[in-house]
Structure 1
Amino acid sequence: MKKLLWLALLVAVLLAGWALLKVRRARPEVPFARVERSDLVSVIVTNGRIEPLEWAAVAAEQAGLVRRVHAERGQRVKAGEVLVELDAATAEAELAAARARLAQVQAEIARLEQGGRAAELAALDAEIEALRPELAAAEQEKSALERLAARQAATRTEADAAGRRAEKLAAQLDGLRKRRLALVDSPERQAARARLDEAEAALESARLRLEKTLLRSPLAGTVYEADLRPGAFVAAGQTVAKVGRLDRVLARVFVDEPELGRLARGQAVLLGWDALPGRRWEGSVERLPSEITVLGSRQVGEVVCRIENPGGELLPGTNVNVEIRTEAARSALSMPREALRRRNGQTGVFTLNGDRLAWQPVELGISTVTRVQILKGLNEGDAVALPTDVGLAEGLEVRPVFRP
């Protein structure tokens, strides 16, 4: 009888242990992470597009065919360097004709200033020089006789005769001077001068037309747009190339509307480009959005950032990945961002209390892509539940699995 009692007791203990083991094995496995201290840098992750900081378009001032392309996309050029050369046959012919016309007019003027006219001018000058002392002597004699006649030392007839002689010489000298002036400024010479001015203007115009066949860079920089080939037709006003300074560029960054309140001028910016993995470019926020625009399904503000690009790898139009560092906290109490949950209008986490879950509201600080700062509600070393397929609830008994 006693043996039967002990046997029944043993069976009961085994059944209880088996039931307890079954219950323990039925507890759901839930991943957990520890609250710990770490340095956090809060960033806004988005995308953007590169634009030149300083640039200029090179346009054709006259239509023509491309004779030669001197600069390709990505090539560095100096200010004034020729980028594209248009066909100049017509302009060169016009320049040659203008030079010939100028030479012809200059020859006409030379003929007017030489030969008989030059000799005639010399003769007139000689006559004028001869009359000047003769007129001076006649005027002196007239003055002397006038004084003597006043003292009755000479007759009035003598004084009047001297006056008439002086007047005659003065009239002759005036006539010679008028003849000389008419000879120098003749209508024929004036017409020749007009033709000379016209020929010089035509030559300068031809030179300008020839110069316009050479399309030059207005500034030193890098050619970032140029697609012409020899033989292509270029219309007047057509842009043939764009040149910009690319040692510093602008990034037009698209930030979602809810994130705009975190932005400030001067915040650090880090850029990446899928074409050059591992390469990074640094800069800062220069201008904040002035309006909200639609970008696909997003409501965004356009933030302008100035980026250092010493190697010139980032070309205008490049699509880039952007991180804007809005805040930083050293040795901050933090946890994985994925542990956050919303419950009854509160933000919080499920913590581990023994083997059971406990709901704990939290107050948050800055956040990164993977972690979030805890200002209130948790302590260092606390365990917080991570996302799982298991439906979590207050008081649920779980089997915790800790992740590093």
Structure 2
Amino acid sequence: MKLLRSVSIVGVLGLLAAGSWWWLVGRGPAVATVGLTRGTAAQIVYATGVVEPVTWAKIGPAVRGRIVARCRCEGQTVAAGHVLARLDDREARHTLQELEARRDQARRDRDRQVELAARGVAAPQAQERALTELRQLEALIAAQAERIENYRLVAPLAGMVLREDGEVGEMVDTAAVLYRVGEPRPLRLVAEVNEEDIPLVAVGQRVWIRADAFPDRDLEARVHDITPAGDAVAKTFRVRIRLPDDTPLAIGMSVEANIVVREQAGALLAPIEAVRDGAVFVIEGGRAVRRPVRTGIRGPRTVEIVAGLADEDRPISPAPPASRAGGRVRDVAAAAAATPTATAAAQSGPR
């Protein structure tokens, strides 16, 4: 009797073990399936850029020097030629005064040589040397006067002072940009596009812009022009994108640009993770079946399915490796969909 009871217990345990194995292993790994959607497939070229005015200029010093005065006119409108800042030009002016004193002496020497030549007591060569020296000094004075103008920073065009940098007493070099002057509207986006993508970009293409300052808004613009020559070091081409007058973007913002190079309306779309090596996997009879597909436009999150799937198909996403073809799998999406129904039915019964 005890032997029979032991055999029964072992049999039950074996059945439980087999059932557990089937539940955990025999049914195959859990996978998720996704539905396909219809929409517009868009092939895009990604770029980053900075917002800037269409009409503007950067103003920096032509010589190294110390700032002694600045207009403090940021945000104000100025006329062309307006003095924005001055650098310390005392040394340059001292040099000019020295040249002017030498010029005055050279004029007196010339006049004396002319008088002596008229009386026949001076050689013509002496008079010519005096005249040549005077002309050299006058040329040096003109050049020095132009150098002194370099110590003034003036607006090259009429417009608003968009930004003003530098403080009185600060030493600045020729690489510094102290002022930005221009018209605050219209604006453009100057974007850098990788050289391998530039053949796809053309003037007039639509551009979707995303900015951190406006995370919930897709801003539209158009490609305005493309620089003919690229940057051989960065391997990029500069693309200018004209922004609409009502754009909320501000000068200096860094944004992302998605240039739409091709669109296909009403396309059958699948998640990009569902396609691997030109095929998808669908569940048939509890097994993962590999189904080849022909794809079209590939976007950042979805890919166009041209052939191989129908609207009602539900591919596995992410796609399993090819070695899983024919293996058993279980759809966790279907199980999850069934669970709330059972729970609701249980709750609707008598309490």
TM-score bin (small chain): 0.5 to 0.7
Partner of 2:331: 400
Partner of 2:119: none
Q: Cα deviations across residues 91-127 of structure 1 (Å, max 9, x unaligned)?
A: 9xxxxxxxxxxxxxxxxxxxxxxxxxxxxxxxxxxxx
Deviation at 1:314, TM superposition (A): 3.1
Q: Residues of 2 paired with 1:379 and 1:39: CA distance?
A: 17
Contact 1:350 1:358 in 2 (8 A): yes
Tell me which of the two structures has the higher relative contact order, counting C-alpha pairs closer than 8 angstroms and 6 or more residues apart. Answer: 1
Q: Secondary structure of the equivalent of 2:24?
A: helix
Deviates more, 1:243-252 or 1:362-371: 243-252
Q: Residues of 2 paired with 1:25 and 1:61: CA distance?
A: 77
Partner of 2:21: 22
Q: Cα deviations across residues 233-282 of structure 1 (Å, max 9, x unaligned)?
A: 67999864231334233433233344444322211223333355446653
Deviation at 1:355, TM superposition (A): 1.1
Contact 1:227 1:240 in 2 (8 A): yes
Q: 1:372 aligns with which of 291, 295, 303?
A: 303
Q: 1:228 aligns with which of 155, 163, 166?
A: 166
Q: 1:329 aligns with which of 229, 243, 264?
A: 264
Q: Secondary structure of the equivalent of 2:222?
A: strand
Q: Cα deviations across residues 152-205 of structure 1 (Å, max 9, x unaligned)?
A: xxxxxxxxxxxxxxxxxxxxxxxxxxxxxxxxxxxxxxxxxxxxxxxxxxxxxx
1:44 aligned partner, one-letter code: V
1:77 aligned partner, one-letter code: T
Q: Residues of 2 paired with 1:84 and 1:50: CA distance?
A: 26
> Of Structure 1 and Structure 2, which has the larger fraction of its residues in helix?
1
Q: Residues of 2 paired with 1:242 and 1:392: CA distance?
A: 61
Deviation at 1:335, TM superposition (A): 0.8
Q: Secondary structure of the equivalent of 1:25?
A: helix
Contact 1:285 1:305 in 2 (8 A): yes
Q: Trace 1:23-38 onto structure 2 (pairs within 5 A).
A: 23-26=22-25, 27-38=28-39
Q: Does 1:39 align with 2:40?
A: yes
1:55 aligned partner, one-letter code: W
Contact 2:67 2:86 in 1 (8 A): yes
Gaps of 5+ in 2: 94-145, 338-351
1:46 aligned partner, one-letter code: A
Q: Trace 1:31-180 onto structure 2 (pairs within 5 A).
A: 31-58=32-59, 66-73=67-74, 75-80=75-80, 81-84=82-85
Deviation at 1:52, TM superposition (A): 4.0
Contact 1:247 1:308 in 2 (8 A): no
Q: Cα deviations across residues 24-43 of structure 1 (Å, max 9, x unaligned)?
A: 43111011112222333433
Q: Residues of 1 paired with 2:319 and 2:307: CA distance?
A: 25
Q: Residues of 2 paired with 1:226 and 1:52: CA distance?
A: 16
Q: Secondary structure of the equivalent of 2:187?
A: strand
Q: 2:317 aligns with which of 386, 396, 399?
A: 386
Distance 1:244 1:312, change over 3 A: farther
Gaps of 5+ in 1: 92-207
Bigger Cα Rg? 1
Contact 1:36 1:381 in 2 (8 A): no
Deviation at 1:217, TM superposition (A): 2.5
Q: Secondary structure of the equivalent of 1:34?
A: coil
- Percent identity over paired residues: 27
Kindly tell me the number of residue pairs found equivalent between the two proteins: 273
Give the superposed CA RMSD: 4.5
Q: Cα deviations across residues 333-366 of structure 1 (Å, max 9, x unaligned)?
A: 1111111101xxxx11112222111111211122
Distance 1:57 1:348, change over 3 A: same
- TM-score, with length taken from structure 1: 0.54
1:217 aligned partner, one-letter code: A
